Amino acid sequence: MYGMVHRAARELAILRHGESKWNAIAETAGVSEREFISAEVFTDAVTISIVSAVADADGSPIDRTLLELGRHWIDFAGRSAYSNVMSMAGDTLPDFCRNLDRMHTSIQATMPDAIMPSFEVEAQDEAGLTLIYRSQRTGLETFVQGLLEGLMERFKVEGTVARVDDSHPIRFRLTYKSA
Amino acid sequence: MSPILSLSPDEISGLFPGYFRLNREGMIEAVGPVLTRRTRDSFIGRPFMSCVEVTRPRGISTFADLQTCRGQLIIRCPDAAGIVLKGVVLQRDDTIYICAGLSVDVSGQSSGSYRFEDFSMADSTLETFLAADLRRNLLIEAQELATSLTEARNRAEAADKAKSRFLADVSHEIRTPLNGIIGIADVMAHGELSSEQAGRLRLIRSSGRTLERLLNDLLDLAKLENNRLQLEPVRFDLIAEIRDTLGPVEALARVRGLDFIFNLESMSQDHVVADPIRLRQVLSNLGFNAVKFTQKGSISVSVARTGDKVEISITDTGPGLTDDAMSRLFGRFEQADNDVSKRYGGSGLGLTLSREFARLMGGDLTVSSSLGKGSRFTVTLPLPPAPPVMTAPASPPPRGTIRPTAGAGIRGLVVDDNPTNLEILRVMFDAFGIEIDFADGGRAGVEAWEKNRYNLILMDLQMPDMNGLDAVRMVRRLEAGWEPGEERTRILMVSADATEEAIAESLAAGADGHLAKPLRPESLFRAVWSLF
Ligand code: HEM
């Protein structure tokens, strides 16, 4: 994965545990880097070992930390270099969700080594929407859950995000009062 | 009807987000989402030609011109935040379509005001636009990283400076009382002592000198760590220097019943340019180590030149070293608690420093050893031969204790703000029968000198009220106003700083000589005598 994901993970770890603990976390993860460059590509194994080292430090299961990382990514992207892309993607939660796929497709030109996920709004009504998530990776469902919760927060929408049981492809149901 | 007109408005918007649909009269009937989002006053019902500026092709000023245009059209929309669109004119029956999309300036700043919907799904304007945005951000990110690295480096450097400063301060603080101990013990050694007292005094003196060496080693190490150790190369005769340095080692070896063999491969003179002080440090350290660990047998020194390279080896017939001990011998911070260093004594830094010095001089220090047979330390240095110095041979420095026949004729003044230093000097001068007065600061010193016209001043360099350099300058200025024929005051600057720079500065200020602390009776009186 591109280094921007690791930057977000580093920031999350530092926010929670402080700069010096981050050094220990990175060491546990077995990475020599203490800072990451967005444009550099790391293997998924590196990404996973960082997340699990952060989880160790959090004292929680890795899925919990993935969820937090998802939520944190929205905040991180909204503040950082990606804030333009985030605001261009839409002014409302449904608009944004509809643009998620286009966002990743359009970014691919700049980040040719990315293995991009694909998103599709399957159904949408007053009460919510159903989002299909397709990926070449497995095990990132809680990360997506966190991302979507983060998006709800970003658009100040009250509601819930739930994985639709046993659906193939993977679906998330976003239920909200009003968007 | 042609197929394009059967597209739904949504479909047209997706392909040409900046489209205009006009009627036969050129009035706007519908517009794409880029335009709707950006105008407060609707375009609908207004004449197209009065709402936009056609910048390409040139010369399109009427609706009739537009209808005949077949090339690429560039239009600016002042009413829609000045956005620029690019497209073509399509006319079908009574309807005219300006099929256009955004033409964005990718160097622009206002990317946040665009939305994905503003970009055509059928071209790569959005990709281009995002690429520019993301690249800009990458640059910012790189700059931030560079800044934080610079800051971290600056912080580390500041910490390093503080550490060096601290070391310098502390060692200065230690040096002063230590000088007191060594100086007074040296003076006492010249007096009448019982053999028991003499033995105890020897212990005080040798302990004092060990402490002093340790202090110097630590300072050298600190300088090496901060890359602040500067070599001071001069031209000298290598063979004479080696003989001179190892003279005391040879003497000690013979006292211990060891053979001492010089193997110079028939080299008599060999002039080189290098730092003789550091070379001395390395050789005497290796020499004394060899003697220390050799119970019986010999110490042999060999010097060999191959081209520009000189190899100096010191071989002993001591116990030798295990591989493990050899690998740890030069480690910097390990010595203090491993037994190699305990056996090798001293500060335990001697070998570390020796290797560092050798490397600083562009060479190296290596060791080979076989257990039970002995060790060989080899210094290899790049020392191209240099032409000899053309000066008359200097008379050898006097050796042993100096006992002045009389202190008569010398009226001395010691200027120093530190009472310990004053006391040491008082004891030293007393021992040599020279009467001396004291002043505890630069200003007081100059005043006392004006009143009593001393012909010798020992001036400390660092004093709070007026430093030594300023005081010397003032003395010299005042002297310039004297009657011709008056006796000139001899001034010796006394300072812990014995660098060439410091010496040059003292001489430039008007001092006749520079004495390095710690003061020893021998060097003090040699310097004093040389002036009278
Ligand atoms: C400016 C914002 C964003 C940028 C620049 C961005 C970029 C990327 C990139 C480059 C990757 C591929 C990682 C790789 O293989 O190297 C990725 C993956 C991913 N993105 Fe985004 N993204 C953004 C926002 C979002 C948002 C808001 C979501 C919300 C759902 C999201 C969901 C995901 C997911 C789930 C993946 C995991 C990939 C997988 O499942 O294989 N992204 N993103």
pLDDT at A62: 94
Going from the Cα of A12 to the center of ligand 1, the distance in angstroms, rounded, reads 17
B115, A37: Cβ pair inside 8 Å? Answer: no
* A131 contacts A171 by C-beta, under 8 angstroms: yes
Q: How far is A140 from chain B (nearest CA, A)?
A: 25
CATH topology assigned to domain A91-176 = H-NOX domain (3.90.1520)
Give a yes or no: residue B291 inside a domain: yes
Q: How far is B227 from chain A (nearest CA, A)?
A: 27
Q: How far is A106 from chain B (nearest CA, A)?
A: 5
Give a yes or no: residue B135 inside a domain: no
Residues B156 and B90 in one domain: no
Number of residue pairs across A and B with CB atoms under 8 Å? 58
Residues of chain A positioned with their CB less than 8 A from the CB of B112? 83-84, 87-88
pTM across the whole model: 0.59
Going from the Cα of A35 to the center of ligand 1, the distance in angstroms, rounded, reads 20
Give a yes or no: residue B391 inside a domain: no
Chain B: residue whose CA lies nearest to A89: B116
CA distance A124 to B332: 70
Instruction: Name the residue with the closest Cα to ligand 1, atom 22.
Output: A104
And the tokens for A145? 């859950």
- Give the amino acid at B81: A
Q: Which residues of chain A does CATH 3.90.1520.10 include?
A: 91-176
Q: Any CB–CB contact under 8 A between B146 and chain A?
A: no
pLDDT at B112: 54
Range of the domain at B186: 149-225
pLDDT at B456: 93
Residue B189: give its domain's CATH number. 1.10.287.130
Going from the Cα of B82 to the center of ligand 1, the distance in angstroms, rounded, reads 33
Residues B421 and B497 in one domain: yes
Strands (E), A40-153: 118-125, 128-134
Instruction: Name the residue with the closest Cα to ligand 1, atom 20.
Output: A117
Residues of chain A positioned with their CB less than 8 A from the CB of B115? 88-91
Beta-carbon contacts of residue A1 (< 8 Å; ≥ 6 apart): A41, A42, A44, A47, A114
Residues B326 and B344 in one domain: yes
Three-state secondary structure readout of B383-421: CCCCCCCCCCCCCCCCCCCCCCCCCCCCCEEEECCCHHH
Express each pLDDT in A25-42 by its tens digit. Answer: 999 999 888 888 888 899
Residues B240 and B186 in one domain: no
Report the number of distinct structural domains present in chain B: 4
Residues of chain B positioned with their CB less than 8 A from the CB of A37? 138, 141-142, 145
Residues B245 and B348 in one domain: yes
Express each pLDDT in B464-480 by its tens digit. Answer: 889 999 999 999 999 98
A88, B145: Cβ pair inside 8 Å? Answer: no
Residues B349 and B446 in one domain: no
Give a yes or no: residue B286 inside a domain: yes
Atom of ligand 1 nearest to the CA of A4: 10
CA distance A15 to B31: 48
Three-state secondary structure readout of B53-117: EEEECCCCCCHHHHHHCCCCEEEEEHHHCCEEEEEEEEEECCEEEEEEEECCCCCCCHHHHCCHH
Give a yes or no: residue B393 inside a domain: no
Among A103, A129, A170, say which to mutate for ligand 1: greatest number of ligand atoms within 8 Å of CB.
A103
Residues B82 and B190 in one domain: no
And the tokens for B423? 């006391």
B115, A91: Cβ pair inside 8 Å? Answer: yes
Residues B221 and B239 in one domain: no
B114, A88: Cβ pair inside 8 Å? Answer: yes
Look-up of token digits 């040798």: B206
Residues B311 and B374 in one domain: yes
Residue B255: give its domain's CATH number. 3.30.565.10
Q: What's B488's DSSP letter?
A: P
Chain A: residue whose CA lies nearest to B132: A110
CA distance B444 to A170: 91
Give a yes or no: residue B137 inside a domain: no
A117 in contact with ligand 1, CB cutoff 6 A? yes
Report residues of chain A scoring pLDDT below 50.
179
A84, B133: Cβ pair inside 8 Å? Answer: yes
Instruction: Name the residue with the closest Cα to ligand 1, atom 29.
Output: A147
Instruction: Name the residue with the closest Cα to ligand 1, atom 17.
Output: A116
CA atoms within 13 A on the CB side of B272: 22
In angstroms, the Cα distances linking B339 to A170, B137, B345 are 67, 57, 9
Option in B111, B135, B141 nearest A84 (CB):
B111
ipTM: 0.90
Instruction: Name the residue with the closest Cα to ligand 1, atom 31.
Output: A147
Q: How far is B145 from chain A (nearest CA, A)?
A: 8
Residues B181 and B293 in one domain: no
CA torsion B207-B210-B212-B216 (nearest 10°) is: -170
Instruction: Choose from B115, B118, B133, B134 for mutation: most chain A CBs within 10 A.
Output: B134
Q: Helices marked H in B117-189 — which ranges?
A: 125-189
Q: What's B118's DSSP letter?
A: G
Residues of chain B positioned with their CB less than 8 A from the CB of A102? 116, 121, 126
Residues B11 and B113 in one domain: yes
A78 in contact with ligand 1, CB cutoff 6 A? no
Beta-carbon contacts of residue B395 (< 8 Å; ≥ 6 apart): none
Report residues of chain B scoring pLDDT below 50.
1, 333-338, 340-345, 391-405
A109, B111: Cβ pair inside 8 Å? Answer: no
